[in-house]
Structure 1
Amino acid sequence: MNADRAAWEQRSSIRVVSPVQPRKLAKVPFVELADGRLQGVVSSGSDIERVYVSSFTAGTHAYSCSTNNNRPCGALPSGSSPCKHLHLLAAEAVLQYGLDRVARYLRVDVGDGASSGADLVSRMDGQVERAPAAMVFSRFLRHLNYLEVPDTTVPIPEMHWFPALGAVR
């Protein structure tokens, strides 16, 4: 093991990868590539109190969309195509991570002409498959709690792991 890696493993912060392009958080406040899925939280277009947990599974391209209280998305009857929440998720993921990275993670061949989340979704042929929403929604809520922590220069023990910009060189 080289010395640089050993030093990195002993730090309690990591470098945050900046978004590829700026994105607005109102429609898709949370997006991640985790647990073998592109997954996130998407705001409802009709009810300010409702959000959807949407995901695409890597490899199979199965997709899922349900409300935060685990009710299936009404626009996603079995055998249909991805709903607007899934399209919004893919578009924001491309802004956050870049098309190439998202396509590699999901194992999608996007070809040369692709440039957007819509291109990504059009090249997947998955089916509806219910995915667990509770863990994604829980992580989203945990991230929201960290936004409410008051500014301080004193170490906060439960945040020792939290990524810091520019911490790793």
Structure 2
Amino acid sequence: MIRPRVLPRPRKVQKVPFVELYAGRLQGVVSSGSDEERVYVSYFEAGTGNFYCSTNNNRPCGGLRGSPCKHLVELLNEGVLQYGPARVIAYLGLQQAEPDKVRAGGELLRFIKGGPHKVEAGMVFSRFLTYLQYVSVAPTGVPLPDMAWFVR
């Protein structure tokens, strides 16, 4: 049995409701600080260090001016909290970072050498909506066809 990591503090799911290591990226959805109806889709790409942040409607983040914006920093912080510094560092290919010395994800920014690189937000946002669909499923003893791939 795989035991979940004990987090040093609870995740800020209201601020960063979705974070994952997937498709060669640390990616997720970050809530807007100024508009509760708006969310941003953000990512850091493994290997290249490229990053991007836009609304779920593909409008670029106003804080993205050649360097990571506050949404990207929040994503990195919650990613390190969720997965641990060693796993995020290894996944993103930040060999020069020392996992034992990382207390927050924002400390990894100095090792990320990429720049802004636009990708469509649809894939990440779609994964988030699917995640929300399963979070809202009421507990049941009846098999769910969509989740039949889970091993008991």
TM-score (normalised: structure 1): 0.81
Q: Which one of the candidate residues 96, 103, 107 is aligned to 2:89? A: 103
Distance 1:135 1:19, change over 3 A: farther
Moved more, 126-135 or 98-107: 126-135
Aligned pair count reads: 148
- Tell me, which stretches of 5 or more residues in structure 2 are unaligned? none
Q: How does 1:143-162 map to 2 (within 5 A)?
A: 143-162=131-150
The SS at the match of 2:101 is coil
Q: Which one of the candidate residues 72, 92, 110 is aligned to 2:60? A: 72
For residues 4-36 of structure 1, the C-alpha deviation after alignment (integer angstroms, 9 at most, x for no partner) is xxxxxxxxxxx6762441312111010011111
Q: Which one of the candidate residues 82, 86, 104 is aligned to 1:116? A: 104
Q: How does 1:1-169 map to 2 (within 5 A)?
A: 18-21=4-7, 22-77=10-65, 80-108=66-94, 109-111=96-98, 113-162=101-150, 167=152
The SS at the match of 2:132 is helix
* Cα-Cα RMSD: 1.7
Higher relative contact order (CA 8 A, sep 6+): 1
State, as a whole percentage, how many aligned pairs show the same letter.
56
Counterparts of 2:91 and 2:11, CA distance in 1: 20
For 2:97, the aligned partner's letter is: V
